[in-house]
């Protein structure tokens, strides 16, 4: 399921297909890790993913990092057949990177597909609990900081308040049930991504996580949260800024107005694999 190229869209280098599991004949889980200037972190995070879930493959999506992250990622891929790299020619936002990765993963038949940050804030050691939660009739599992058992380490008070406030605002405006609406540690069933209709997701920045969650609700997907520990990065610089958060909240406000007062056209559901259980709304 490849997305059509749009005028002005960044060109991409398609990675070589990752080998499938020889034990079951089924695709292995795929962990998608977007990168921009993460040379200090990428080696460790990939090693931790491979140790935590040896059956998982990794797709690094690099936006032409000037610090050489992409070159280092290629070296990792050369040393490990379960690691591949998707090179993008410009920095075009987190959402755009994930959408390109999702399209490639769906075309290759991977299931499930996991989102994970490169900076170590999402602990690979907790990945099994997200994958275990997909064992039932669940479409999307979110690693949540704001449910019982979830926590944050090394964040100042104002960052915690900003994150909690952003999630609470998104929940209220969009009438979401998910406690951690802005969380980026997520595991999707492939069928869930097809039902969301990724061509309708246009957010490229910080608001992408809320946008995907809103689309998941509109598609009637079953979403569960599992508690995780979010750890502030130790190396490198965060890409977060007040301006990015404000832009995301403005987008959320617009979606909420559209959702409550606008005319919504029902979205056709793309048929899923017959072997996949139907989702519950």
Q: Tell me, what CATH number does 83's domain have?
A: 3.90.550.10
Residue 5: φ, ψ to 5°: -65, 140
Q: How confident is the model at residue 207, as a pLDDT? A: 82
pLDDT at 19 over 80: no
Q: What is the CA radius of gyration of the chain?
A: 18
268 is a domain residue: no
Structural domain that includes position 59: 12-260
Question: Count H helices, E strands: the chain?
Answer: 8, 10
pLDDT at 268 over 60: no
pLDDT at 236 over 90: no
Q: How confident is the model at residue 78, as a pLDDT? A: 98
Distance CA 52, CA 195 (A): 29
Distance CA 238, CA 57 (A): 26
Residues 133-150 have a mean pLDDT of 92
Q: How confident is the model at residue 254, as a pLDDT? A: 63
pLDDT at 222 over 70: yes
Q: What percent of the chain has a predicted confidence (pLDDT) above 90?
A: 51
273 is a domain residue: no
Q: How does the average pLDDT of the chain come out, rounded? A: 79
More confident: 239 or 67: 67
Q: How confident is the model at residue 170, as a pLDDT? A: 74
What's the whole-model pTM score?
A: 0.78
116 is a domain residue: yes
Q: How confident is the model at residue 15, as a pLDDT? A: 58
Total number of domains constituting the chain:
1
């Amino acid at each position: 399921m490849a997305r059509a190229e749009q005028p002005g869209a960044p060109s991409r280098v398609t990675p070589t297909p990752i080998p499938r599991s020889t034990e079951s004949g089924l695709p292995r889980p795929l962990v998608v890790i977007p990168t921009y200037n993460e040379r200090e972190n990428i080696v460790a995070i990939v090693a931790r993913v491979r140790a935590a879930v040896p059956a998982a493959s990794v797709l690094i999506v690099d936006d032409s990092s000037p610090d050489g992250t992409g070159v280092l990622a290629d070296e990792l891929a050369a040393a490990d057949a379960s690691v591949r790299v998707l090179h993008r020619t410009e920095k075009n936002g987190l959402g755009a990177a994930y959408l390109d990765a999702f399209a490639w993963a769906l075309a290759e038949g991977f299931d499930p597909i996991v989102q994970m940050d490169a900076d170590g804030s999402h602990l690979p050691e907790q990945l099994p609990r997200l994958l275990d939660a997909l064992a039932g009739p669940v479409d999307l599992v979110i690693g949540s900081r704001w449910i019982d058992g979830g926590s944050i380490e090394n964040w100042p008070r104002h960052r915690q308040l900003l994150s909690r406030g952003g999630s609470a605002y998104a929940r209220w405006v969009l009438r979401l049930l998910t406690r951690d609406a802005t969380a980026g540690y997520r595991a999707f069933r492939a069928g869930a991504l097809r039902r969301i209709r990724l061509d309708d997701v246009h957010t490229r920045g910080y608001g992408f996580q809320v946008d995907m969650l809103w689309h998941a609700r509109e598609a009637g997907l079953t979403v569960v949260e599992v508690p995780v520990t979010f750890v502030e990065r130790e190396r490198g610089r965060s890409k977060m800024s007040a301006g990015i958060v404000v832009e995301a909240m403005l987008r959320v406000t617009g979606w909420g107005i559209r959702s409550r007062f606008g005319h919504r056209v029902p979205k056709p559901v793309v048929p899923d694999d017959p072997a996949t259980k139907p989702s519950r709304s």
